[in-house]
Amino acid sequence: MTVRAVYAREDQPPPGQEAVSWMLLTTAKVATFDEATEKIHWYT
């Protein structure tokens, strides 16, 4: 089984909030930034 990792990090969280940092593991193809963004949206 092939698993891909997509790391998402919030660069500018709202004032007083901790930044979100998230590692997504998926079996879906992720070869471009747009594909990575798509997978992040699937899981949010």
CA distance 18 to 33: 24
Domain assignment present for 15: no
Query: Could you tell me the two tokens for 4?
Result: 């891909």
* C-alpha span between 44 and 36 (Å, rounded): 13
- Kindly report, residue by residue over 4-44, the tens digit of the pLDDT: 999 999 999 999 999 999 999 999 999 999 999 999 999 88
16 belongs to a structural domain: no
Q: Is residue 13 part of a domain?
A: no
Residue 14 lies in a domain: no
Answer whether 22's CB lies under 8 Å from 7's CB.
yes
Q: For 37, phi and psi rounded to 5 degrees?
A: -60, -40
Domain count, the chain: 1
Does the pTM surpass 0.85? The reply is no
In a domain, residue 4? The reply is yes
Q: What is the pLDDT of residue 44?
A: 82
Instruction: Please give the residue range of the domain that contains residue 38.
Output: 1-8+21-44
